[in-house]
Amino acid sequence: MNAPLSPPAPSPKDTAAEDRIISIATLAVGGQGGGVLTNWIIDVAERNGFRAQSTSVAGVAQRTGATIYYVEMCPDRGRQPVFSLSPAQGDVDVLIAAELMEAGRAILRGFVTPDRTTLIASDHRIAAVSEKIVPGDGRADGAEVKSAALKAARNFVCFDMEKMAVEAGSVISSSLFGALAGSGVLPFPRESFEATIEASGRGAKASLRAFGLAYDKAAADRAALAAGGEPPILKPVAAPVRGPKPAPTGDAGQLGQWQALVQRAEALPEPVCEMAMAGLRKTVDYQDAAYGGEYLDRLDAALKIDTGERRDFSIAAAKYIANAMCYDDIVRVADLKTRASRLARVRTEVGAGEATVLQVTEYFHPRIEEVCASLPAGLGGWIEARPGLARWLDGFINKGRRIRTDSLRGFLMLWVVAGMRPRRRGMLRHGAEMAHLDAWYALAAARVESDYALAVEILRCRRLIKGYSDTHARGLSKYDRVLGALPMIEGRADAADWLRRLREAALKDEKGVELDGALKTIASFALPETASA
């Protein structure tokens, strides 16, 4: 207390030189347990003869949004220091970020400075809503945050503390606490941190496990850095070793065909081979060995026109022809949902043991379009040609259906639909899809000579077509709009670049607002020329 009449302290300036306030700010996403961590920090400080103060902002701010907890502490000399209530730029000793982008936010807000801040950040992402709702990949770049952190922080402790906690059966507050202890930034022994966790009771064992893992990792990183190594975060992550994938099992006749297909694929030029193998597996898995053969035939054609050293066209073809051949229809969905491997995966995901009784409900909403697509081409086309009939039938079909695939009845329904797979080539949808594939491929192939890069970009536009029903229709329309711009850009030196930009714009938002903008930009420089010509 600093009451006006309190006796003068023994030369305040000296104590000031001796004791410093240590400030610790925690940036977390609401619901991550920042409060628990804060209480632990207070506890460990008090255990070590420090005075500490914590503040937080409770309320609506904590509902899944970014939130800050703040602690200040200093050795207890029998007097109450004046602690600040919120973190200030350039005045933070330890910044704990419970998620990578929150570390970025801390840097952005000036809480991380090279003269004093130890930045402890978990190297995992919790995507913000704005990142998730993008039709393409809207996720922010974590590498940029890390490279900024290396410049902004005095020390940067960074590894996946979320994974570590989950593996230990605990939550991230435990591993963050471990990293804090292991970083050595607080003058407290490890045992006192552990005593704090033990005293907190429930779940202490798992918490201690996570704490220990994080402590060891942080301490080891520190030692490595002290020994003159480069920051561990800079070490390239070893790419997951992709050994040869196990051979399939099943029908002996097809297995023989498979061997032959694999030999064909492996004989392809090296840069194409990996993608071709993935494509081969996908197409065979989707239909049968013969379908895989069709895939490789198409790929051979692409390779034939891919001249010189260039292989981009073939790689793109290997990827997108496979995707185009494996269009999403109800047979595919029924097939995927009735496999034994799928059931096993569901059990793993929900953490159900082999003996546990599990009920699985699937959500379907079929429409007449999907039914016609799966009928023999003649019949399906006949119905589609009669809108009145189609509408009438749709009245019976078009509604949400929940199917219990753990029940025999529900499983059988899907099993029967999946059983239509051998007849897929005769279905209405197959014809349409193959025609679309041929047209798309021809569009690209015709430009290999004149504008190689553009041909590759045309293939890549296949990425726009995805999803089911309305989503699929929207994707198709975006695909049409993007490729519809070809006449405007063709012949320009930067045509491929423009097509790429259009595709990327189309993946930015649902309605295609960015795409419209990009198309307008192109029209502004492309159309007047044609008009004046």
Cβ closest to another protein, residue 65 vs residue 378: 65
Handedness of CA 468, 474, 478, 484 (dihedral sign): positive
- Residue among 100 and 176 whose Cβ is closer to another protein: 100
Sheet holding 118-122, edge to edge: 50-56, 66-75, 22-29, 94-97, 118-122, 155-159
Nearer to another protein, 84 or 521 (CB): 84
Q: How far is the CB of 21 from another protein (least distance, A)?
A: 5
Q: Residue 57 CB, nearest distance to another protein (Å)?
A: 3
Determine phi and psi for 69, rounding to 5 degrees.
-115, 145
**Secondary structure class of 138 (helix, strand, coil):** coil
Quote the DSSP letter at residue 245.
P
Q: Which is closer to another protein, CB of 104 or CB of 178?
A: 104
Output 214 or 334, the one with its CB closest to another protein. Answer: 334
Nearest residue (CB) to another protein, 24 versus 526: 24
Nearest to 98 by CA among 159, 147, 32: 32
Closest separation in Å from C-beta 320 to another protein: 9
- For 429, 431, 513, the CA distances from 388, given in Å and listed in that order, are 20, 23, 34
Expressed in angstroms, the distance from the first to the final Cα of the chain is: 85
Distance in Å, CB of 223 to another protein, minimum = 26
**Given the complex with another protein, which of 28 and 454 has the nearer CB atom?**
28
Q: How far is the CB of 245 from another protein (least distance, A)?
A: 7
What phi and psi, each to the nearest 5 degrees, are found at residue 417?
Answer: -60, -45
Angstrom distance (rounded) from CA 121 to CA 167:
18
The residues near 295 (Cβ < 8 Å, ≥ 6 apart) are 279, 280, 283, 321, 322, 325
Biggest CA–CA distance in the chain, Å, is 100
Shortest CB 528 distance to another protein, Å: 33
Min dist CB 480 to another protein, Å, is 17
